[in-house]
Chain A
């Protein structure tokens, strides 16, 4: 679609990290125990940040805010919240 006038072009663009490197907010870090994980994907579905790989169940710590929702919702207790250094 043609832009009618440049003055009305949107000034922001979709990008990762729009709130910064939000991983630095973390007080506790979610750690997955692969032995206990059944790959049910619950953690992936409930993570508000979309930082969990749904197949590998690997967490992107650059943006994970450490909210702990994944750990509470994991049916097998495979995620523990460990205090950040």
Chain B
């Protein structure tokens, strides 16, 4: 059973009055992650909105030891820290339960700039959790395209809408044969919480990606952050799944779409709610371009359905 909202613990690791935009999905997600990890953890951040949200020195908006590292190094820095902790414990310089080492990184720092070091950490199966909060763009620098930006989306570097589909990063991490991979999003806090608790208790490399609809980049009203997250899942634009030791299971409501018990909502509903697709909708070829977006979604659903059948 998924943890209900009333069962979520009181622990608050994200402190009120931090520097994030109102309605920020990254902060919303981190709050739930904090409830699952608790205070005994070390946080690493690459340049991103979540760094800007930490606030102004000497105040820090997150209640963990936090280290700001360079863009490309989430994988290697987290590996170094987790190894150092293990050695310190071996030498008797640390007692009790070792802190969880986790990276809190955007899609830019995960899909693109940090990919090499992350892939290496996964291949070594180092004992860390890598979180990618995915707002589908480089938001902190004013919304540029990333490998996570979906086809058709406007960014400052794709002024007529991105022409390529996004890549399936969670699946790429799964193919590193790591013990745990999961996807989540802010509309389903119990699902996210359970996945983080699970990851915390598994040794080795864990990857959790959280879709974070950012009102600024996606261009909708900030009060609708959770609505947009729910719409992404209902349309199949975001699939909720987890894989323990390579075995994929889908979570509700994605599992209903995958099993064919419920149809995914047509993507136009989802696309029309967001200003980032506006220019595409106004173009003469809008029908074709929406069909392309729908095609990307249908392909991912079909592919993941089949991929999940492989359990060897």
Contacts and interface: CB of A to CB of B under 8 A. Distances in A.
Given A48-B23, A54-B10, A69 B225 contact: yes
Contacts, number: 132
Contacts of A47: 28
A7 to B, nearest CB: 15
B17 A19 contact: yes
A40 interface: yes
A15 B21 CA distance: 18
Interface string B16-57: 111111111101100110000000000000000000011111
Nearest to A14: B63
B10 A19 contact: no
Given A15-B60, A73-B226, A49 B6 contact: no
Contact of B24 (A14, A16, A17, A48): A48
- In terms of DSSP, what is the predominant structure of the interface of chain B? loop
A1 B20 CA distance: 32
B17 A21 contact: yes
A72 interface: yes
B22 A65 contact: yes
Given A19-B56, A68-B223, A45 B5 contact: yes
B20 to A, nearest CB: 7
B61 interface: yes
Interface of A: 1, 10-23, 25, 40-42, 44-51, 54, 60, 62-63, 65-69, 71-73, 81
Given A50-B31, A66-B22, 9 more contacts: A14-B62, A15-B55, A19-B20, A46-B189, A48-B14, A49-B18, A63-B17, A69-B23, A71-B223
Closest 3 CB pairs of A and B: A18-B55, A68-B223, A19-B19
